[in-house]
Amino acid sequence: MRFDPMEDGKKATYFRMIESIVPRPIAWVSTISRAGTHNLAPFSFFTGVTSDPATLLFCCGNRRNGDPKDTAQNCIDTGVFVVNCSSYSASQQMVQTSAAYPADIDEFEAAGIDFSPSETVAAPRVRDAAISFECDCHDITEVKNDEGCVTSRIIIGRIKLIHIDDAVLDAQGRVDVRALDAISRLGGHDYARIGEVFTIPRPKREL
Ligand SMILES: Cc1cc2nc3c(=O)[nH]c(=O)nc-3n(C[C@H](O)[C@H](O)[C@H](O)COP(=O)(O)O)c2cc1C
């Protein structure tokens, strides 16, 4: 089968993309509004960018009414955010924070999640997350559709500080993927935990 996004429409294309681009890591993004309200929401269009400078990105689509989601608005207004890693034990709470709460609701409080102040940015971090990346906004790129409407924003963060819980570090100081118990998003409402792990050494000659 071949699918043309122009013919298929945005809804069907969205489902084909989230079913095909798998597994996706989940950025559990905490922000703070201009008024000081804490916000928390998951984003699986997420990846690292480069280590020099240390950067990562996530993509934040608009609400159905065309307004930016609170996360994007807070990044635009305050220029900071934190990416927290969601482990299996916090997966229910993580999904709870995807509810469309109004901007003046503290989503840490609403979902019963403890926060800690960050050290380098005003946005808080998830206290019990095994890993958190404190970020400044490096760039926010608007993505427009064929009608010229902004439908999403690629939010690139410059990593200022990384918190890693000692409990997920092995004897060599590396993150132990089993201890981290990270989850990924699949299609629909499905998620996955880490299954079999295998190792393939890289070829010796590299350009
Ligand atoms: C696991 C998961 C991953 C998600 N990934 C994205 C994403 O990549 N981009 C996006 O715009 N929304 C994504 N969402 C939906 C947002 O979390 C949801 O719209 C949320 O209400 C946004 O909150 P905010 O308005 O507080 O920013 C995801 C939801 C879940 C449960």
pLDDT tens, residue by residue, 14-28: 999 999 999 999 999
Ligand 1 centroid vs 62 CA: distance in angstroms?
10
- Is pLDDT of 198 > 70? yes
Kindly report the protein residue whose alpha carbon is nearest to atom 17 of ligand 1.
Answer: 98
Does the C-beta of 110 come closer than 6 Å to ligand 1? no
Residue 203 counted as domain residue: no
In a domain, 183, yes or no: yes
Task: Assess whether the C-beta atom of 45 lies below 6 angstroms from ligand 1.
Answer: yes
Q: Are 185 and 24 in contact (CB under 8 A)?
A: yes
Residue 201 included in any domain: no
Cis peptide before 53 (omega within 30 of 0): yes
In the structure, what pLDDT confidence band is assigned to residue 205 with cuts at 50, 70 and 90? confident
Q: What pLDDT, on a 0 to 100 scale, did the predictor assign at position 116?
A: 98
Answer whether residue 205 is part of any domain: no
Cα distance between residue 163 and residue 155, in whole Å: 20
Query: Mean pLDDT across the stretch 1-7?
Result: 95
pLDDT digits (tens, 9 = 90+) for 138-191: 999 999 999 999 999 999 999 999 999 999 999 999 999 999 999 999 999 999
* Residue 61 belongs to some domain of the structure: yes
pLDDT value at residue 102? 95
Q: Quick one: pLDDT at residue 14?
A: 97
How far is ligand 1, taken at its centre, from the CA of residue 2, in Å? 28
**Mean pLDDT over each residue of the chain, to the nearest integer:** 97
Q: How much distance in Å is there from the Cα of 52 to the middle of ligand 1?
A: 28
First to last CA, the chain: 37
Cα 41 to ligand 1 centroid, rounded to whole Å = 6
CATH code at position 61: 2.30.110.10
Q: Is residue 198 part of a domain?
A: no
- 60 pocket-lining for ligand 1 (C-beta < 6 Å): yes
Question: What is the structure's pLDDT at 207?
Answer: 65
> Of 192, 194, 163, 162, whose CA–CA distance to 176 is shortest?
194
Predicted TM-score of the model (pTM): 0.97
Average pLDDT over residues 50-76: 97
Cβ-defined contacts of 171-178 (< 8 Å, 24+): 175/131
C-alpha to C-alpha distance for 198 and 192, rounded to whole angstroms:
17
Is any atom of ligand 1 closer than 6 Å to the C-beta of 44? yes
Is 204 contained in some domain?
no
* Residue nearest (by alpha carbon) to ligand 1 atom 6: 43
Question: 117 lies in which domain range?
Answer: 5-193
Cβ pair 82, 133 in contact under 8 A? yes
Question: From the CB of 18, is ligand 1 less than 6 Å away?
Answer: no
In this predicted structure, the answer to whether residue 105 has a pLDDT above a threshold of 70 is: yes
Q: Does some domain include residue 207?
A: no
Query: In this structure, what token pair is assigned to residue 168?
Result: 């997920």
Give CA 27 to chain center in angstroms: 2
Alpha helices in the chain (DSSP H): 5-8, 10-20, 70-78, 91-96, 107-111, 177-180
Say how far residue 90 (Cα) sits from the centre of its chain. Answer: 15
Atom of ligand 1 nearest to the CA of 94: 31
Q: How many domains does the chain have?
A: 1
- What span, in angstroms and rounded, lies between the C-alpha atoms of 156 and 136? 9
Give the pLDDT mean for 101-108. 96
Report d(CA 30, CA 190) in Å as an integer.
23
